[in-house]
Amino acid sequence: MGRDSGKKHRQLSVQTRLMLTVAIASLTIIAVNIILFFNINRSMEMVNRAYATNLIINELSDSMRLVENSMTDYLNTKSTDAIEQYFDAEQEYRGHLEELALTRTDRDSRAMLEDIVNLSDSWLEVTSETIRAKRGRVVDRYSVSYERAERIYSYINAYIYSFNREQFRSNSENYVVLLDSFRRLEYVTMIIIALVAFVNFLVTFVLTKNILDPVRQREIMMETHLKDAELKYLQAQVNPHFLFNTLNAGAQLAMMENADRTSVFIQNMAAFFRYKLKREDKDTTLADEIGLVDNYVYILNVRFSGEILFEKDIDEKCLRVPVPGMILQPIVENAVNYGIRNVDHEKRIKLEVRREDDLIRVIVSDNGAGMSAERIEEVLGGNAGENPVMKDSNGVGLSNVMARMRLFYNIENVMNITSEGEGKGTTVELFIPAVNEDAESMTGN
């Protein structure tokens, strides 16, 4: 009885410690993320609010020009169509003024908006007076009113220009805040992962130090599984939706600032990460893999000022063939990092897709540093060890690509590497069976 009671007591103690460790780690992560997400969302709300105000201002400016043009047209022609167009434009303009009066802005912008609204009310009164004078044929009166209307019109345009310039400055500052918040989130998450891993190591060491019986050994296994689960949980704390929303906000701000290249770059980054999160462990198609490579090369060329010349020769009939996710991008990344990055001559990478009978050959070639025959034999034999050619920044190497393709297609010969020697480039070929290229169920959707 005493021995059983001791075992239960020790088991309860282990469970309590593990639960406390997980609870403290989880609460710490949640608290930090809530604070950072709150700051980021507040900055994004400010950007979105400024963007909505800019839309109203632009619509106001367009309808103001329509009022001006229809008034001038009526003064010149006195046509029925012109006066009807004027009244329609005036109503539309007043509607935009009401929207503008309801917008939320900071104190300085609020003062500018109030000036625009007040000037607009005065301008509409003067334009109406000008129309009435013209209809009553009071020439001197409508001439004076017209000149006054033109003067107020120029004032309103000047205020709108100043307001847009102030909004541009404010949006730029908010964009910097967003970037800083995102960096802080990244750094804090990495620190928490390292800290929790260290704490888990200490807890595991203390709990297993003096335990020898089978029940305790099973508890050790459970602790290991819990540790893995905690680390995966921590690594998943950066919500993919938050990442995409932040990138989309950056792309939107870039478009507002007429930074078209920045906008396209951010959109390519979003597409790259979205594909990676969705497809890394799922089946996909060769077309999607090539699309990912296009995104990746675009991002690299922004980093390296367009130094990489990327060519494609694709047989369009082969694009629907099913493939494991993330098999092409690691090969292209190796070609960049360990092939062409440090060469002095023109940097070229070519991607080819050909069909030969029942086999599809996917060929990635570069004109970079090349490989020795011994090194090629090590890589293809799975004996490359820790050489950098078998590793890349996202942890997916050539050996990993070969292993997944062999499991996926149930064949051994899935890759070949050729090089004429150092300094003469490298060619990596993937061999894909073409018998199931029309399958519709390979995407994992």
Please tell me the distance from the alpha carbon of residue 442 to that of residue 298, in angstroms, as a whole number: 27
* CA distances, 121 to each of 42, 149, 161 (Å): 34, 11, 18
Q: Give me the residue label for tokens 């967003």.
A: 178
Judging by beta carbons within 10 Å of its beta carbon (0-12, 13-18, 19+), is residue 233 exposed, middle or buried? middle
- Assess contact for 53 and 105: CB atoms under 8 A: yes
- Assess contact for 120 and 97: CB atoms under 8 A: yes
Domain boundaries, the chain: 1-258, 279-433
Q: Which residues pair with 361 in a beta bridge?
A: 354, 431
Q: What is the dihedral of CA 90, 93, 98, 101, to 10 degrees?
A: -130
Q: Which two tokens stand for residue 103?
A: 């917008």
Please tell me the distance from the alpha carbon of residue 98 to that of residue 92, in angstroms, as a whole number: 10
Q: What pLDDT is attached to residue 248?
A: 61
| Residue range 183-206, pLDDT digits in tens | 776 677 678 767 767 766 776 666
List average pLDDT for each run of 10 residues in the chain, which is 445 residues long: 47 62 72 70 66 78 88 87 89 86 72 84 89 82 86 88 77 68 70 72 62 53 52 44 55 62 65 57 83 86 82 93 88 89 89 93 93 87 56 55 86 92 90 67 41
**CATH number for the domain running over 279-433:** 3.30.565.10
pTM of the model: 0.41
| Residue range 220-274, pLDDT digits in tens | 655 664 455 444 444 444 445 445 555 665 665 566 666 666 666 666 666 666 6
The CATH-assigned architecture of domain 1-258 is: Up-down Bundle (1.20)
Q: Which two tokens stand for residue 368?
A: 């970079």
Pairing type for strands 415-418 and 347-356 reads unpaired
Q: What is the dihedral of CA 175, 295, 275, 270, to 10 degrees?
A: 10
- Assess contact for 300 and 334: CB atoms under 8 A: no
